Amino acid sequence: MTRNKKSGEVMFLFDLDGTVTRKEILPEIAKEVGIYNEIKLLTDKTISGKIPFYESFLHRVKLFKDIPVSRVRNIIAEIPLHEEIVRFIREYKERCCIVTGNLDVWVDELCDRIGVDRLTSKAVCRNDKIVEITHVLDKGEAVTRHFGDNFVAVGEGNNDAEMIKNAGIGIAFGGVHQPAKSVLSCATHAVFEEEILCRFLRQLL
């Protein structure tokens, strides 16, 4: 197992959307600003692997570019979380990290509230608006660079597959929707309830 640099213990990496949150974040933002159907279609196509995450993400962010960042943060703050998972993360926060393709300017506040470290995509923001996307996170590459190749990873979408494939223990989590086929094909485990996920994570401590 890859160990935490400070404590030498196994690291736990969590996808954000549909894993820590009980809903996908981008469709929730879209609902608030009246472009839900368009974003939902793009999100569903991305989840089912019909269009690549990178292009889909850039396209979806473009549709959100005129929405004040502060408003997006407020919408994200209202999205329900898997409280058992959050409790686990808070309890072992030195050993946990959220790995999300979402933008730092949107999700940093939520991660701060949980009190967890994070790897995210990055954007430059001016006058409360996104002016440039400077980095789209490749989860597989990023986690290998930061954590080596033997950590515990939890996720469900196609963009989690590389992270799950590279994990010592890769867990497909179906708490919100059925995990993507790509995730099921490389996961070591699949669980469908957050209580069971957390009980298993504790067995891995």
Partner 1 sequence: MQIPKTVVISCAGIGSRLGMGTTKALIELGGKPLIIWQLEMLEEVEDIRIVVGFQAEDVIKTVLPFRRDVIFVFNHNYLSTRTAASLSLGSRHTKNMVVSLDGDLLIHPEDFKKFLSLDYECIGYGIPSTEEPVYVEIFKGEDGEWAKSFTREAGGRYEWTGLVQLWPDNIVNTTGHVYQILEPQLPIRAMQIRSQEVDTNADYIKALEWVKNL
Please state the closest distance from residue 85 (CB atom) to partner 1, in A.
15
Q: Pick between residue 55 and residue 83 the one whose CB is nearest to partner 1.
A: 83
199, two tokens: 């009980």
| Part of the chain binding partner 1 (CB under 8 A), chosen from 29-37, 97-105, 142-150, 197-205 | 197-205
Please state the closest distance from residue 11 (CB atom) to partner 1, in A.
16
Task: Assign 3-class secondary structure to 19-64.
Answer: HHECCCHHHHHHHHHCCHHHHHHHHHHHHCCCCCHHHHHHHHHHHC
Asked if residue 132 lies in contact with residue 124, where contact means CB atoms within 8 angstroms, the answer is yes
Q: Pick between residue 58 and residue 204 the one whose CB is nearest to partner 1.
A: 204
Identify residues 42-101 at the interface with partner 1 (CB under 8 A): none
Asked if residue 23 lies in contact with residue 48, where contact means CB atoms within 8 angstroms, the answer is no
Does 204 help bind partner 1 (rule: CB under 8 A)? yes
| Part of the chain binding partner 1 (CB under 8 A), chosen from 12-20, 38-46, 110-118, 193-201 | 193-201
Q: Pick between residue 63 and residue 184 the one whose CB is nearest to partner 1.
A: 184
Q: How many CB atoms lie within 10 A of CB 31?
A: 15
| Part of the chain binding partner 1 (CB under 8 A), chosen from 44-52, 81-89, 124-132, 189-197 | 189-197
Identify residues 152-181 at the interface with partner 1 (CB under 8 A): 169, 181
Q: Pick between residue 122 and residue 181 the one whose CB is nearest to partner 1.
A: 181
Burial 125-138 (b: 16+ CB within 10 A, else e): beeeebeebeebbb
Does 128 help bind partner 1 (rule: CB under 8 A)? no
| Part of the chain binding partner 1 (CB under 8 A), chosen from 26-34, 53-61, 91-99, 188-196 | 188-196
The HSE-up count of residue 108 (CA atoms within 13 Å, CB side) is 8
135, two tokens: 């980095």
Does 195 help bind partner 1 (rule: CB under 8 A)? yes
Q: Pick between residue 54 and residue 200 the one whose CB is nearest to partner 1.
A: 200
Complete DSSP assignment for 130-178: EEEEEE---HHHHHHHHHTT--EEEE-SGGGHHHHHHSSEEEEE-SSSP
> Applying CB under 8 A, which residues contact partner 1?
169, 181, 184-193, 195-196, 199-200, 203-204
